[in-house]
Structure 1
């Protein structure tokens, strides 16, 4: 109350605050003293409380992206300038050699032309022997020669002598059978031609055989000639046979007649029209050759009765010749 208030009406002043009761501080409030663990409990270490960064008063500058790092160099670019020049020169040399090789191979396999004729020796020197080629870029030149196979025989006459016949063009006989025939047989087209090619490839220019293939080719072409000539007219002087039997052929001889095909009228090419002959020695007809001839005659007679004479008889004789050659 105020100092001047007196009597019963005097106002009471607000009570003065009393001091708090004195109490002992808790272990948490005592600095340096942590929580006292209970019995049997392991005390935990005190960890510092994370402190929040204080905001900076000045604004931070904006982040600028860093320039991308250069990619590592690979290949020729990874080399130094000196090695790059050396590698480039090596690549140029390899490319030039490859171009020259391709050009040489092309001239070697291509048909004959002006360049290959002029530089033929250089091309052969590059190709042989390491890069030899056994193929051609284009089809080979067509055959510009006609090759005809001819044969003649030495037959025994009725009086015991011998007589030599004229030359029979066996290739012309095959050509006559093929002309007008829509379905000619392989025998008519290929038997005689392949037999002669077989003989030529198995003999040298002096008609000497090259091993066993040479002897086989001789038997093959000889038996074909015997089979063909035994059915030709004119083997005897009067052109007939006694008692319907074929004359006995003692020996046969074969030759080829090669003539050049005439060039077309618009061509300036000059060729020699004179034929070229290649004669082989006389071959003695063996017993095996005559046995094949007898078999072919019987087959020809049976075929002529059932299907007629001509084409079937020729096919039977050709099959007999082929079978006899294969059997031996």
Structure 2
């Protein structure tokens, strides 16, 4: 191979490295004229192979506190229906890991992921959207039933209602941001519970 071809290859390689470094830099840089103007081009180059986020070091920092709860409908011996108070499942998970030098987040993550998927895959009328939505909804119900069991205060559980509570994380004391004072809720419709729901639990 001639010196000319080697020099040309080196120039092309150097140009490719410069373009790559520039694209990664623009992805991570604060908003600026180039980034705003060429956002689509930058994204098409960076995603998905060179995506930059906190997952390299830790999960993406949460901007809000999410709590997932459930209330139960049970049937008594004479057919009387009873509805429980809301049970905060997220609070149970947090209590279970507090003070543990080697805590497991398996249950906490399982509940959170099941809720996120079921919530995202809902369509008109707050019903599961398509087959994936139905699978996600059923999975969420089974995760909850695994926690609460088959009976509530001695009565058979015949229905569940699952909800999420979202509270924005307060800003640090050294900033001028105002503390958010709103809490929002997402309450899903009641779902019947049958013996098939407990299969394999």
**Matches of 2:96 and 2:17 in 1, distance apart?**
54
Say whether residues 1:123 and 2:42 are aligned partners.
no
- Corresponding residue of 2:163: 255
**Matches of 2:135 and 2:158 in 1, distance apart?**
20
* Alpha-carbon displacement from aligned partner over 1:209-249 (angstroms, at most 9, x marks no partner): 344332222222112223333488xx5xxxxx5xxxx3111
Do the aligned partners of residues 205 and 260 (structure 1) sit closer, same or farther apart at CA in structure 2, a change above 3 Å counting?
Answer: farther
Between the two structures, name the one with larger relative contact order (CA 8 Å, sep ≥ 6). Answer: 2
- Corresponding residue of 2:65: 146
**Alpha-carbon offset, residue 152 of structure 1:** 0.5
Q: Is the 8 A contact 1:178 1:189 kept in 2?
A: no
Q: CA RMSD in A?
A: 3.3
Q: Is the 8 A contact 2:123 2:129 kept in 1?
A: no
Write out the 4+ residue segments of structure 1 that deviate beyond 6 Å after TM superposition: 95-98
- Which consecutive residues of structure 2, in runs of 5 or more, have no partner in the other structure? 5-10
**Alpha-carbon offset, residue 132 of structure 1:** 4.8
- Which consecutive residues of structure 1, in runs of 5 or more, have no partner in the other structure? 1-73, 76-90, 236-240, 293-322
The structure with the largest strand share of the pair is 2
Q: Is the 8 A contact 1:147 1:258 kept in 2?
A: yes
- Corresponding residue of 2:8: none
Say whether residues 1:275 and 2:183 are aligned partners.
yes
**Alpha-carbon offset, residue 194 of structure 1:** 2.6
Q: TM-score, normalised by structure 2?
A: 0.74
**Alpha-carbon offset, residue 138 of structure 1:** 5.0
Number of equivalent positions: 188
SS at match of 1:172: helix
Q: Is the 8 A contact 2:122 2:133 kept in 1?
A: no
